[in-house]
Structure 1
Amino acid sequence: MTKFWNNINKFPRFLFSVIIGFFLTTFYTIFELLKEENKRLIIGIIIIIFISIITMILRQMLGIK
């Protein structure tokens, strides 16, 4: 039974490392693309469009004008 509780105690550390690993892997490719001058503008425009679309969708869903 102590093995079980040891595994349960290790789970938050495992979950944290998986989440951090996901974000590091995802953002590493974006940072590599940002090193090139011409791709920096394209990625900036894509991020701005993405944020504005999400904002418009949330405003319509929540009824905010």
Structure 2
Amino acid sequence: MSYQLTVNGVFRLADSAFIPQDPANRDWLEYLEWMASGGEALPIDSLLETKVSDQGVFAFLKRIV
């Protein structure tokens, strides 16, 4: 699994799902377990550089909102 950091959560790259920092969210807990087992999320800037250049600004914003 791969994740991208955002300002207030993470973006799961496998299915383009945004996961907020919510301790009641099952996906957030799964992300924390992944991090604890050695996973490394991509930095925030990397997402902006790749997604915006590939799809345009409006398509990128629709995916993260």
TM-score (norm 1): 0.32
From the CA coordinates, give the structure whose radius of gyration is larger. 1
TM-score normalised by the chain length of structure 2:
0.32
Higher helix share: 1
Structure with the larger strand share: 2
